[in-house]
Structure 1
Amino acid sequence: MYPPRQYIENDFARLLTQIEKSPLASLIYQNAQGDIELCHIPLVLDENKQHLLGHMAANNPLAKLLAKQPLNIKCLFNGADCYVSPNDAEKVYLPTWHYAKLEIKGTAQPITKPSQKREIMGYSVAQFEDKLATQWQLSQVDENEISQSLKYIMVFKIEITEILGNFKLSQDKASETREEIKQSLYARGDKDSAELIY
């Protein structure tokens, strides 16, 4: 079985946290010629945690394809990752790499109604601005300007059909060893990687 069972993350809350911490997703899809394509788009979860929401330029090849029909798509979210040295813990005998990766499969479809596009754009902006000390709001832009801009943007949603978390964090090691690794990562200033270890 791959990935090994101990590296499969099933904690839904931990998986969703990775989307919030690392929202820039790599979207993988098949074009009309059958070739595999890739683009990078920040995504947010809707309020019910059942869809991913995003937007892109209307001239993006993915947008042009999506305008014709719904599309099966994979979204890869890359959480923190780091090198782990044998110097990081007494019982780490060989170097390894820690990482938190999340793969979501789903069906993407465009949002075409202007009011829904405007609503999703406002919601998405609020999700990102919420993390900032001084928050900007879409309402600060003139509505006519927003309406014009939305003509050149495709807003879309992805219905989530499958989630796979692949978190390789030395789960095969004793808790004492994992704690040593964690403290070593904190000591070298890699807080994001350290906080993943449990």
Structure 2
Amino acid sequence: MYQPPHFREDNREVQHALIRAHPLGLLVTLGSAGLVANPVPFVLDASASPQGTLKAHLSRANGQWQDFDASQEALVVFQGPETYITPSWYAAKREHGKVVPTWNYAVVQAYGRMRVIDDTDWLLRQITAMTDVQEVARPEPWNVTDAPAPFVAAQLKGIIGIEIEITRIEGKWKVSQNRSEADRQGVAEGLRLAEDDASRHMADLVDARGALPGGRQS
């Protein structure tokens, strides 16, 4: 993806944290008719390979697991917080008016060869791990074993596993680092007035990331 140096995020722990916080990735592969994309929830196993391994499952009725070019990389896009930024929040609007709208966002793109796994035990471990991560904060977490075993076994027959060992990964945090301190303060204050979780999260990112070295704008 387009990567101005001041927005680039190469810290592996930060990249992995976004994947875990926003596990519904857009899986993009090359098929016989061209590119195919499907939203798929992934579990990240950081210890399985140097850059981490993504594990998921697809419905057997989803042709993406059968029609893909195994010699080419798959791409998984994990979209983090994103918000529209109005120029009305910039101090620069009041100073000279030479401002335009933009969009702030954090995103991770992970690449690697996709491998299909047709193994019931693997699938059970994968859906259990995925469910446990999502249920852990609930007062009464649901567990796969809460469902009748024959029902679970029947459900497993309808899915197929996929695994992607990440061979390259890119992070981009575009969160107003290219604006002046006064503009960034205006953005953060404006976002907090919106009172939704995404805007508040973005306000925190704007505050945390700060300005570019030397106050440079671009």
| TM-score higher than 0.5 | yes
Q: Give 3-state SS (helix, strand or coil) of 2:142's partner.
A: coil
Q: Provide the residue aligned with 2:216 in structure 1.
A: none
Answer whether contact 1:83 1:97 (CA < 8 A) is retained.
yes
Structure 1: distance between partners of 2:111 and 2:7: 19
Q: Which runs of 4+ in 1 moved over 3 A?
A: 68-71, 174-177
Structure 2: distance between partners of 1:2 and 1:71: 21
Q: Counterpart of 1:32 in structure 2: which amino acid?
A: S
The CA deviation string for residues 89-109 of structure 1, in whole angstroms up to 9 with x for no partner, is 313632211111211101211
Q: Provide the residue aligned with 1:38 in structure 2.
A: 37
Answer whether contact 1:70 1:110 (CA < 8 A) is retained.
no
The 3 A distance-change label for structure 1 pair 69 and 7 is: closer
Q: Provide the residue aligned with 1:125 in structure 2.
A: 131
Q: Counterpart of 2:9 in structure 1: which amino acid?
A: E
Q: Provide the residue aligned with 2:106 in structure 1.
A: 100
Q: TM-score, normalised by structure 1?
A: 0.88
Within-5 A mapping of 1:70-149: 72-91=73-92, 93-149=99-155
The structure with the largest strand share of the pair is: 1
Q: Which moved more, 1:37-46 or 1:87-96?
A: 87-96
TM-align CA RMSD = 2.2
Q: Provide the residue aligned with 2:3 in structure 1.
A: 3
Q: Counterpart of 1:10 in structure 2: which amino acid?
A: D
Q: Which moved more, 1:159-168 or 1:5-14?
A: 5-14
The 3 A distance-change label for structure 1 pair 155 and 32 is: same
**Structure 1 alignment gaps of length 5 or more:** none
**Structure 2 alignment gaps of length 5 or more:** 94-98, 210-218
What is the Cα deviation at residue 71 of structure 1?
6.1
Q: Which moved more, 1:78-87 or 1:177-186?
A: 177-186
Q: Provide the residue aligned with 2:201 in structure 1.
A: 192
Q: TM-score, normalised by structure 2?
A: 0.81
Q: Provide the residue aligned with 1:17 in structure 2.
A: 17
Answer whether contact 2:74 2:114 (CA < 8 A) is retained.
yes
Structure 2: distance between partners of 1:142 and 1:98: 45
